[in-house]
Amino acid sequence: MSTPRGASLLHEPRLNKSTAFNKDEREAFGLLGLLPEGIDDLETQLRRAMAQLDAKTTDLERYIYLSQLQDTDETLFYRVLVSDPARFLPLVYTPTVGEACLRFGHIMRRSRGLYLSVERRGRVREVLRNWPERDVRFIVVTSGERILGLGDLGANGMGIPIGKLSLYTAVGGVPPEYTLPVLVDSGTNNETLLADPLYLGLRRPRAPREELDAFVEEFVTAVQAEFPKCCIQFEDWAGPDAVRLLARYRDRVCCFNDDIQGTAAVALAGVLAALRITGGRLADQRFLFFGAGSAATGIAGLLSEALRREGLRDEDARSRIFLVDRRGLITRDRETIAEYQRPFAQARPAVTDLVTAIEELRPTALIGLSTVGGAFDRRVVGAMARVNERPMIFPFSNPTSHSECSAEDAYAWTDGRAVFASGSPYPPVRHGGRTLVPGQGNNVYIFPAIGMAVYATGARRVSDEMFVAAARGVAEEVTQSDLDVGLIFPPTSSIAGTELHAAVRVAEVVFDQGLAAVPRPPDLAAYVAAQAYVPRYRSLV
């Protein structure tokens, strides 16, 4: 395909270099007069972008600026992100993306990705052909029904696939031209959105299950036909839909669900690193979940897999995992229970109170996935501190307003003994003359590594063993100095190295399981590193 000229070139974000076009390029592509005479290099452009970001007064304004930069100069956008991941990841994804999704129809400047309406049933493959790139390797697709802890945001949920795929590239190294954000628009049951004149989605109630499933089947089939090397990541679907669709497609196409498997892997990584503080074996731990949806059962399932690898039988592994929802402990004699919860239902009397459950079950780790802000109050955290010398307390619900407890409270209520990680970021806490650094159990440690491994190996499927490998890879990157300040996830300042290490661990499993589409290289780490995208301008002449 020929390179566009003049203003058209300046409007092509993948090729645009703005003020970095050199003299020869300006002559060759009709850019004379369309740019100032000064010629920048990428580092000068980076300084200018930083100055403009520093002038913004809110994170939402910074999100909007970065979105516009991605739409105009993709290389500079990624150069900004990789310059300081600890600063910019929270801006392009959690927690800022939550606010951006709430206001998506009000802040949208330019459409990005594909919107697949259920009212286009029978034409999905035709719509996919409208995407300009013909070699798509990764699709992140959402229904917008369960965005973070914010609920049904309909078409506003498109901010999630856009943000996720930005991280595939920025920290995972997947080249951006191979990525495609997709929103399946089946309506919304959010009355506030339906009444909003600036809402951009279908103005109708959500489609029933049968209609949604038929549309997703058409979508998956069309993706395989149009983009045969594509891996599909299901993201922020309603819990029952997420479980059902993953079960339907995981052994049929290359796909995974980040809310189920990615969340599970990051939780496992946190536990593995935390054990270097608390001592003991993984096989000796007991896990209590507050929240029993698809994310919780996903973590429970991966923990079971890891426990089996430690030598436990299936029944023994599951006997160490307890699910508590708003009605209490899930037991086998409960009248109504979801099928995906059944493997973890316990053969014991019901317990309705979380504090009582802690005192009776004596878990070593308390994991929150309830989206109930403040659910781990002083009584709950105190109970964990009474039954453990170093209790693992992981309030993983997002965004921060939905976190089950804050880092400051967890440390205060355990006299600094808690091993803490949360789904949203918290600043360091000063306690007892020490500075404790809370970890953020963010899926960003996992899904870009899975993506890079799949991209590098051409993996035909995504297996649970690959997520266990990713978790172990992340935990291996936690240093003793990290552990000394209570940090059980690697610092995000060095996340690119963490992702690369985890991707190599995943790639090893891909080759061991015979899922790769390329020969196994003699130096796997060097091979994976060589595939990674680096944001730099290429010469056009």
Residues with a catalytic annotation lie at 93, 164
Residue 332, CA distances (Å) to 48, 85, 298, 323, 343 in order = 61, 45, 19, 12, 9
What residues contact residue 68 under an 8 Å CB cut-off, 6+ apart? Answer: 109, 110
Containing 271, the helix (H) or strand (E) segment is helix 263-278
Per-residue b or e along 242-278, where b marks 16 or more CB atoms closer than 10 Å to that residue's CB: bbbbbeebbeebbbbbbbbbbbbbbbbbbbbbbbeeb
In terms of Cα–Cα distance, which of 414, 411, 421, 424 is closest to 483? 421
Q: Nearest to residue 451, comparing CAs of 464, 433, 432, 470?
A: 470
What's the per-residue H, E or C state across 418-439?
Answer: CEEEECCCCCCEEECCEEECCE
What is the Cα–Cα distance from 28 to 12, expressed in whole angstroms?
16
Could you count the other beta carbons within 10 Å of the beta carbon of residue 483? 15
111/158 Cα distance (integer angstroms): 10
Cβ-proximal residues to 346 (8 Å cutoff; 6+ apart), any chain: 319, 322, 329, 330, 331, 332
Q: Compute the CA torsion angle 290, 296, 300, 302 (nearest 10 deg).
A: -150
Residue indicated by tokens 């309506």: 187
> Cα–Cα distance between 245 and 143 in angstroms, integer?
12
SS3 256: strand
Q: At what angle do helices 524-531 and 495-512 cross, to 10 degrees?
A: 120
Pairing of strands 429-431, 434-436: antiparallel
Could you tell me if 19 and 25 are in contact, meaning their C-beta atoms sit under 8 angstroms apart? Answer: no
Q: What are the beta bridge partners of residue 147?
A: 151
